[in-house]
Every structure is written in structure tokens, then in C-alpha cells.
Homo-oligomer: A and B are copies of this chain.
């Protein structure tokens, strides 16, 4: 049985407001919890379904947590409905400190920048895809959905722990600074421009992807060095942004 205070705390973390206040978030599932424990992020608490504690995968998690001096608590069947984020509780979860990274703390190399992405699943999928293709840096605009939203965390499939993810409170200013002080160029995927196949991989480039219907926001255009688009030939009006970003990243990574 979990202490009531833990249950209350976990439930608060389902709300963005409290995640922001507490600077914490939750990841569920064996892979996510293990990736968190193997990352540089600070894991505060691991919760394991008491009935599964002797199963191999969960044993590994418990051992790993103990090695890192992370508190482990066991939950009973009655707790699960109160704490789970998904329909079927995958047997474990971790509470983790949010890493607050600014744009100038990103690693060297290209930056995948997301402008006004509203769907948590899309954001998570883009992070997962960026990880697949070996990109290290993500930059989120001020109005992009919370990266610590449980749906986003889930759809990153652990990749949230592999990349550096910075959030800016003013995308335009941040991009101007990256151009001026760090000599980055800015390439955007837009509704017009050259074929995305001509877009090159370069170390000092910020690749911007905007929300699917509008491309990037007005005002950003003036600092964009080159625009590209993905040519279509059917009747669909647009591509989903996670799809566009993936097509571009796949093309860049070869």
C-alpha cells in the first residue's frame, strides 16, 4: 500500500500546473523507468507493483534504483487505479526531476526546433524519431505543448531521456541569438520553398517545423535563411507535423 501523500502527489503531477510548480514528471513502464535510471536526470521515486517485484525485469529496476539511492515504494492493487496514467498500468513508474535546459546549454550540432506543436503525441513521436536518426538537440517554442505531459512522455518511448530538450520563452529572440552569437543558420519546413530533398545536413543549422496547417509563425520568416517543402501529388491538404519532421530527418541522416 502506498502512503496517501504519495498518491496525492502523483495525482497532482497529472496537471500541468503542478508539474510546473513541483518541477517533476512521471514516466510509466519498464523501458521508460529503466531509461530514466540510466540517464543523467534525477529520479526521485520509483513505484513498483508489489505483485511483480520478484519478476526479473522489475527486480532489475529495483536493484538499479537501490544502487542509485533512489527510493522504491511498492503499490497494492487498490493503489493502481488511483495512480495510473494509462488504461493498463505497466507495473512501474518513476517520478523524475524536470531538467531545465536553455538553448545555449544544448550540445554542439544541429537543432530540431518545434514551433507551436500542440499535440502531445506528435511532440513525443518527433523526439523518438529525432533520437532514432541521431539528433541530439530539441528546442521547443514557448507555445509548444508541455514535454512532460504524460502522453508526450509515453510516446517518446524513452527517448526523452536520450536527448537535450530546451524550452525557450521567446523563440524569435533565441533564434536571433543562435544566429548572431553561435553562427547557426535557420532552415524551415514550410508550405513553400525548394524540395526538402535539397535540404542538407549541417552541424550549425536549426531546422524548424511548425504546426501542420500554417507552417511556421508569422514573424519568424525574416530570420529564416532557407525554406523547404515536401511536395505532394494527391488530394490531402497537408501532412501531420510528426510525419513531415520524420521525412526531413530521415533525408538529412544519410
Contact = CB atoms under 8 A, between A and B. Distances in A.
Closest 5 CB pairs of A and B: A134-B233, A131-B236, A132-B236, A132-B232, A131-B234
Contact of A162 (B234, B251, B253): B234
A235 B132 CA distance: 6
Contacts of A242: 125, 240, 242-243
A170 to B, nearest CB: 29
B162 A132 contact: no
Contact of A243 (B159, B237, B246, B253): B246
Interface residues of A, number: 35
Contacts of A162: 234-236
A160 to B, nearest CB: 11
Nearest to A232: B132
A234 B133 contact: yes
A242 B239 CA distance: 12
A225 B132 CA distance: 26
Contact of A237 (B121, B125, B157, B250): B157
Contacts of A232: 132-134
A254 to B, nearest CB: 7
A162 to B, nearest CB: 5
A128 interface: yes
Contacts of A239: 128-129, 132, 246
B247 A132 contact: no
Contacts of A130: 234
Given A134-B233, A159-B234, 11 more contacts: A125-B240, A128-B236, A131-B236, A132-B230, A132-B233, A134-B234, A157-B238, A159-B235, A242-B242, A243-B246, A250-B251
Nearest to A129: B243
Interface in A41-58: none
30 contacts: A121-B121, A125-B240, A125-B242, A129-B239, A129-B243, A130-B234, A131-B235, A132-B234, A132-B236, A132-B238, A133-B233, A134-B234, A157-B236, A157-B238, A158-B236, A158-B237, A159-B234, A159-B235, A162-B234, A162-B235, A162-B236, A230-B250, A233-B253, A239-B246, A240-B242, A242-B242, A242-B243, A243-B243, A243-B246, A250-B250
Nearest to A31: B237
A197 interface: yes
